[in-house]
């Protein structure tokens, strides 16, 4: 029986030499692989009180929307700066070379709401940490962080767990 990892294609030297890019589009395009991933991502949270699913740009939107549908809850995107209309709050975070900014609508969450944060890949944890900070600034509570892929050598899981987060991943790949 195939696992989620079996559906993920690895592309060497993309986007830079030495990077092993883990391509989840092959997972998303296979009906069985996509169903397995969604079911396994939401499984630990079934029956827990969840008000919203938060997806990090961009592949987190695909996963988060499907999970929100399965849980019968709302979906909220966290986007790169300048992509959301209306009033937003923002959080900067570090990239390998430089910084970037994420935004969230300032009325997307209510104080006390319980949310599940979702993305395709956990690397250094910088993007997820920025998302968590945005969520918490609106007074909501992150009950878990779910990712398809963990790159444990980059330390993202440890970073999020040190923030008190419950981290759930479906598979791991060594290296970068």
Active-site residue set: 59, 96
**Of 129, 122, 135, 138, which is closest to residue 173 (Cα–Cα)?**
122
DSSP for the chain?
Answer: ---GGGG-EEEET-SSTT-EEEETHHHHTSHHHHHHHHHHHHGGGTTS---EEEEETTHHHHHHHHHHHHHT-EEEEEEETT-S-S-EEEEEEEETTEEEEEEEETTSS-TT-EEEEEEEEESSSHHHHHHHHHHHHTT-EEEEEEEEEE-GGG-HHHHHHHTT--EEEEEE-S--
């Amino acid at each position: 029986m195939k696992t989620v990892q079996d559906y993920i294609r690895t592309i060497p030297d993309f986007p830079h030499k030495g990077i092993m890019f883990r391509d989840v589009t092959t997972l998303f395009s296979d009906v069985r692989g996509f169903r397995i991933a969604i079911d396994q991502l939401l499984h630990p949270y079934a029956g827990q009180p969840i008000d919203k699913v938060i997806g990090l740009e961009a592949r987190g939107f695909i996963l988060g929307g499907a999970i929100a549908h399965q849980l019968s809850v709302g979906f909220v995107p966290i986007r790169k700066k300048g992509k959301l209309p209306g009033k937003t709050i923002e959080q900067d975070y570090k990239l390998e070379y430089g910084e970037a900014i994420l935004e969230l609508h300032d009325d997307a969450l209510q104080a006390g709401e319980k949310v599940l944060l979702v993305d395709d890949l956990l690397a250094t944890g910088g993007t997820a940490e920025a998302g968590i900070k945005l969520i918490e600034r609106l007074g909501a509570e992150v009950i878990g962080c779910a990712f398809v892929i963990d790159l444990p050598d980059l330390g993202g899981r440890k970073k999020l767990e040190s923030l008190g987060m419950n981290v759930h991943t479906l598979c791991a790949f060594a290296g970068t």
